[in-house]
Homo-oligomer: A and B are copies of this chain.
Amino acid sequence: MPEKTHPAPLRLATFLPFRLSVLSNAVSQRIAELYDREFGLSIWQWRVMAVTADTPGISATEIGQRTQMDKVAVSRAVAGLIEVGYLERRPSTDDARRSNLVLTPAGIGIYELIVPLALAEEAQLVGALSEKEQTELARLMGKLAKAASPERDLW
């Protein structure tokens, strides 16, 4: 007579999706708090600023692709940034549906204040790893990203 079968064990603490989620939340929360406290920005607004600084004249749709935000989130973040005067909407000449988005001088100023702080946060985080480990982590995350979402490139 066979033994009662043991169900496969599942410890949350070793379950990758859980660990990833907890780690990501811990990291995001630190950094989100910084953006909000110092500059009154949400993490979504910050992401929009970052890609707009990188690619002035970008459209909302492109922002969504680069940041993995859905179009509603982009729309709201953009509206908020325009409201506080960090972003400007320029009608596109060749397609009246889209706008070309650019940071205002004020937006650029804030962006340049945030960048070093954000990089410092990141540095503090990855400072726990050696150069080699950092490279390896990036490589492994890339593999996971492809496995998790083969259809579209996550980054």
Contact = CB atoms under 8 A, between A and B. Distances in A.
A121 B17 CA distance: 9
A125 B112 CA distance: 37
A30 to B, nearest CB: 6
B20 A24 contact: yes
Interface size class of A (residues with CB under 8 A): 35 or more
A22 interface: yes
Q: Please state the number of chain copies in the assembly.
A: 2
Secondary structure of the A side of the interface? helix
Contacts of A25: 24, 68
A148 B27 contact: yes
A127 to B, nearest CB: 7
Given A23-B24, A133-B143, 6 more contacts: A10-B115, A16-B122, A17-B125, A19-B141, A20-B27, A23-B141
